[in-house]
């Protein structure tokens, strides 16, 4: 059993108070030590974290706790919740699985670019958002191609169900040891997503002193006119998973796989 639990919540998402209260009651009723704090004021004084919010909340917590080797468990009160394992409806059953050690920890690949780290992706766009830009791609110091596009997405398998999927990239199973590169609205039909081994070094070179706007997980944004080097991070996000919530069941539930559009329409009548 863990020594010190923590409740991390996002107070910008409605419904967080009820979930925090339920979790506090369960922790107190089982005589467990815990602390609680806002996602904007994270604390290192814990060894297991319940994260209450949407995927954005979990991403922020995952980046912080990856270097501390602390596992996190997502409780969704947001929208899709790809990274969550529980919701308000099944919180109690999930809680007892956790305190009885009936779970597994999955180490998720993360990426680094300079001093920044990402669990989902790095998205690179031109500093002029209304115009397409040039991107020169190298992998392991070998020239691949020049893109003329709205941007490039350098994504982990975890991030493949986010911006990468929306931009036409493949969905990668989380345990896949790979990185995907997805062009955003390229100005040629021959440009396609690329999947490379996770130990690859990806370099995006600026053309003619052009500035790039880079975002990590859509949350940390910075500008650069230098070459961008993106690699696999030395740290992993430690996501707590329940046995009955495998990756493919999450895809079926979140993306409505296996249902025709007509059946979904009729179900709502």
pLDDT tens string 194-247: 999 999 999 998 777 778 999 999 999 999 888 999 999 999 999 999 976 677
User: How high is the pLDDT of residue 260?
Assistant: 61
State the catalytic residues: 55
Same domain flag for 121 and 214: yes
Q: State the pLDDT at residue 150.
A: 92
Range of the domain at 211: 111-234
If asked whether residues 60 and 133 sit together in one domain, one would say: no
| Tens of pLDDT, residues 177-209 | 999 999 999 988 888 999 999 999 999 987 777
Question: What Å distances lie between residue 134 and 124, 192, 230, 235, CA to CA?
Answer: 11, 16, 18, 31
Question: Residue 60 belongs to a domain with what CATH number?
Answer: 3.40.50.10330
Tell me: the pLDDT tens digits for 101-124? 999 999 999 999 999 999 999 999
The domain tally of the chain equals 2
Contact at 8 Å (CB) between 2 and 33? no
Quick one: 29 exposed, middle or buried, by C-beta within 10 A (0-12, 13-18, 19+)? exposed
Kindly indicate the confidence band of residue 126, based on its pLDDT and cuts at 50, 70 and 90: confident
Quick check: 125 and 153 in contact, CB under 8 A? no
- 194 and 86 in a common domain: no
Cβ neighbours of 87 (radius 10 Å) = 15
Do 91 and 139 reside in the same domain of the chain? no
Same domain (yes/no): 116, 215: yes
- 129 and 190 together in one domain: yes
pLDDT score recorded for residue 249 = 75
228 and 116 within one domain: yes
Q: Are residues 99 and 127 in the same domain?
A: no
3-state secondary structure (DSSP) of residue 182: strand
Same domain, 31 and 124: no
Identify whether residues 119 and 98 lie together within a single domain. Answer: no
The CATH number linked to 148 is: 2.60.200.30
Give residue-wise pLDDT tens across range 2-56: 679 999 999 999 899 999 999 999 999 999 999 999 999 999 999 999 999 999 9
């Amino acid at each position: 059993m863990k020594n010190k639990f923590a409740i991390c919540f996002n107070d910008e998402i409605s419904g967080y108070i009820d979930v925090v209260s339920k979790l506090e009651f369960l922790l107190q009723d089982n005589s467990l030590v815990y602390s609680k704090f806002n996602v904007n004021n994270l604390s290192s004084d814990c060894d297991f974290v319940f994260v209450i919010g949407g995927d954005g909340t979990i991403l922020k917590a995952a980046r912080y706790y990856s270097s501390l080797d602390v596992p996190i468990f997502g409780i969704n009160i947001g929208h899709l919740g790809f990274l969550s394992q529980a919701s308000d409806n099944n919180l109690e059953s999930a809680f007892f699985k956790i305190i009885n050690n009936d779970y597994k920890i999955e180490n998720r690949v993360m990426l680094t670019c300079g001093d920044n780290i990402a669990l989902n992706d790095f998205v690179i766009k031109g500093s002029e958002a209304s115009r397409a830009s040039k991107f020169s791609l190298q992998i392991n110091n070998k020239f691949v191609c020049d893109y003329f596009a709205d941007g490039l997405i350098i994504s982990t398998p975890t991030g493949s169900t986010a911006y990468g999927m929306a931009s036409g990239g493949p969905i990668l199973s989380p345990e896949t040891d790979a990185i995907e590169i997805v062009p955003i609205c390229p100005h040629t039909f021959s440009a396609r997503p690329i999947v490379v081994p996770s130990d690859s070094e990806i370099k995006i070179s600026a053309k003619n002193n052009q500035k790039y706007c880079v975002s990590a997980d859509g949350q940390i944004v910075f500008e650069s006119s230098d070459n961008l080097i993106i690699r696999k991070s030395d740290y992993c996000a430690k996501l707590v998973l329940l046995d009955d919530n495998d990756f493919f069941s999450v895809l079926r539930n979140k993306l409505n796989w296996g249902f025709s559009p007509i059946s979904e329409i009729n179900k709502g009548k």
